[in-house]
Chain A
Amino acid sequence: MKFLPLVWKNIWRRKFRTVFTLLSIFIAFVLFGILMTIRYSFAFGVEIAGADRLVLIHKVSLIMPLPVSYQTRLQQTKGVEVASHQTWFGGIYQDPSNFFANIAVEPEPFLKIYPEFVLPPEQVQAWRNDRQGAIVGRDLAQRFGWKLGDRVPLTAAIWLPKGGGTTWEFNIVGIYDGGDTVDKTQMFFRYDYLDENRARGQGQVGWYVVKISDPAQAVDLSRTFDEMFANSAAETKTTTEKGFIEGFAKQIGDIGSIMVAISSTVLVMFGLVAASTMAQSVRERTSELAVLKTLGFSGPMILTLVLAESLFIAFTGGLLGLGLAWLFVQGGDPTNGMLPIFVLPPRDVVMGIALMALIGMLAGLMPAIAAMRLKITDALRRT
């Protein structure tokens, strides 16, 4: 501990170089934080998908409809807690570039299946009472400045209203909230409103979500469901919600992972460059280290001194960078709805801290070991 002032002095002996090394590491970790956030966003939050939820889609593909009559049969199956259906509406608010997900659901079972959507009880009641009622996520409400009681028109892209025209009207009766990893950019409205007023497609739904009582039964139940509807007009394919989201993320393909891979490689390069600069500063001081040894500093002591210095730089730059990235991410999705889940996962924060330790060690260890093994006479003769 008493050598801290010595370490401190050594760090700032070339202020200029230290400041810029710190800055490079700082930038590298700002980037790291943001990249990990983007990567997580491209994975559609697969890590938080409920293990107790199964998704049933049409065997041909997600866009084919299923009959509403499956509901009763699913609900009666042993091991099923709640079964409910959802239907993609694809409505457009003012302009196609304002894209957000709007889905027709059955309010009560829907809220039972997704307990992570937090909605005040009086708003649940309001939704139950209003056929045209819709609930929206907090982020979505913020984006368009919607308040409770607002009337929102959507232009139909798929389901035209029976009465002619292309516009459907909704009342905002609830604004749901949830933790960091909950997508708060969606709108949900009542299926009965859709079904009674659409020009065609009565009795059709998009897909089913089933909450089961025991996640261990997921595989068996999936098979049961698919066999139940085999050889019918609409055969099904059941997966866990996690599997479903993973499959969806894979459809986006390797684009996200390629971007992250390229950038991480370069990030490692940045780290190495910073490490080489730090290593150089130790090498420049070889003769000083020899003097320290002459004064009676042991090899391990010198190793510690050098490592303390490089670790200090790596952690100071890294933590500040990661901190800034975190602040940036708190500001929310900068692309206006294209990356709905925009959070820096704690797992990646831990990984970042491990990377800082790695860079600090890499930078300090080689020259430190060299310094430790130094023969005093050689080192003093060198200059």
Chain B
Amino acid sequence: MQWIKQTLAVLALNIRTIPQRLSSSGVAIVGIAGVVVVFVSVLSIAAGFAAAMQSSGSPDRALVMRSGADSEMTSGLSGTDVDVIKQAPGIRREGQAPLAAAELVVIIDLPKIVSPDAPANVPVRGIGPESIPLRSEFSIVEGRMFKFGTNEVIAGRAAKGQFVHLNVGDTIVSGQNRWDVVGTFESDGGVAETEIWIDARTLQGAYRRGNTYQSLLARLESRESYDAFRDWLTSNPQLNVSIRRENEYYASQSQTLTRLIRTIGFGIAALMGIGAVFGAILTMYTAVATRAREIATLRALGFNTGSVLVSVLAESMVLGLIGGTIGGAAAYLGFNGYQTSTMNFQTFSQVAFAFRVTPQLLALGLFYALLMGLIGGLFPAIRAARLPIPVALREL
């Protein structure tokens, strides 16, 4: 009890005197806040990208591609393949019709709004009538659905925000083709929102794809019927396909980029952390040095070394806490929700997403800030506790 009381008393004294040492405390706070800003905001890029990818797929749907293909872009299915696949067990049926749609994706160049001189790879997805009921998260938010058999298209909400000429009423010019935009759609914030959707047959005709597709998306009867569906397809000698749950497919696509960003984010933050710890050490040594007499007086009065040590550590951690809070707030205000788009290397197409400063990231940042404060305070605290009383009293 006595010990805790002493510690609290010294700590209160320390904290009350922080304003007097503002410029030196500022060094530690600014350093730690800076590290937290970088750490949180860089990781929020990865979090945003991963979130966009994860909300793209449902475990209730299965994606069928040619065996060996690592993405829809490199896959290919013939019209006959598609007919065979649609007979597989495990697909949900409405009446006689299976809830499954063969789709193809073509990439076209459209300029980004932020850099109109450079083309970006925008995916155009050819869909069938079943594609819409298949995706329960799909909804039209502006204009209307396109009519099958025409040159009409609908554009995802994120695509409309990132690329030019995708507003309702616009016409997309790509090579010799003209597409009329008649609607804008949403899809739960997923990757599909960066796509343009069109009738699969129109797209096949425009790019001479004949009766071929790239993937088939099927709604499963239930999550458990996945195994039956997959086994029937892989054991069918007519087919050479691979099957994955849709959510797993999208999750695997986000790996390359998120890993790259995380490597860079953690690396930079670790290095900067060392710098910030130096700042904190410098600050706390100054703090201890300027109060050497006070500390010595306290100890002469009978305060024990433990409470002096803990109080210095605690002061340093308070600085960490302040820095961490400022840094987290700055990262949140500056970057949360920032809209951008990048190229997903696995599909070679653009994916729009928003930076996400999640509570977990903020907590991680704060934890890191406290850690930096703790390490920064350690040596000065030991020094304060060990200071020989007579020497310290004589100083200055």
Contact = CB atoms under 8 A, between A and B. Distances in A.
Interface residues of B, number: 62
A283 B250 CA distance: 59
Most interface-central of A166, A270, A273 (chain B CB within 10 A):
A273
Contacts of B208: 233
Contacts of A339: 260
Interface in B306-360: 340-343, 345, 348, 350
A16 interface: yes
Contacts of A259: 42, 45, 261, 264-265, 268
Contacts of A288: none
A62 B108 CA distance: 8
B118 A338 contact: no
A291 B69 CA distance: 80
Contacts of A12: none
Given A60-B174, A157-B70, A262-B42, A273 B343 contact: no
Given A20-B282, A254-B114, 6 more contacts: A27-B271, A92-B70, A270-B275, A276-B27, A277-B27, A339-B260
Contacts of A251: 118, 120-121, 342-343, 350
B279 interface: yes
Interface stretch (A28-36, A78-86, A348-356): A28-36
B23 interface: yes
A12 to B, nearest CB: 16
A270 B34 contact: yes
Given A17-B282, A21-B282, A253-B341, A60 B108 contact: yes
Nearest to A272: B30
A378 to B, nearest CB: 22
Contact of B74 (A61, A64, A158): A158
A49 interface: no
A158 B66 CA distance: 10
A46 B260 CA distance: 20
A250 B263 CA distance: 21
Interface string B206-224: 0110000000000000000
A231 B176 CA distance: 8
Contact of B256 (A27, A30, A99, A262): A99
Given A252-B342, A253-B340, A273 B30 contact: yes
Given A158-B74, A160-B68, A166-B67, A60 B175 contact: yes
Please provide the 9 A-B residue pairs with the shortest distance between their CB atoms, ordered closest to farther: A27-B275, A266-B34, A250-B118, A251-B343, A157-B74, A166-B68, A253-B342, A61-B107, A60-B175
B35 A254 contact: no
B38 interface: yes
B68 A16 contact: no
A266 B68 contact: no
Nearest to B351: A253
Nearest to B268: A263
B285 interface: yes
A61 to B, nearest CB: 4
A255 B74 contact: no
Interface in B119-142: 119-121
Residue among B68, B115, B265 with the most chain A CB within 10 A?
B68
Interface string A237-270: 1000000001100111111001100110010011
Nearest to B280: A20
B382 interface: no
Contacts of A109: none
Contacts of A258: 45, 340
A31 B272 contact: yes
A250 to B, nearest CB: 4
A27 B207 contact: no
B176 A235 contact: yes
Contacts of B175: 58-60, 235
A280 interface: yes
Contact of A61 (B38, B109, B261): B109
Nearest to A23: B278
A289 interface: no
Nearest to B177: A60
A156 B68 contact: yes
Given A60-B106, A263-B268, A266-B34, A90 B118 contact: no
A259 B262 CA distance: 11
A38 interface: yes
Given A251-B343, A270-B31, A335-B263, A60 B268 contact: no
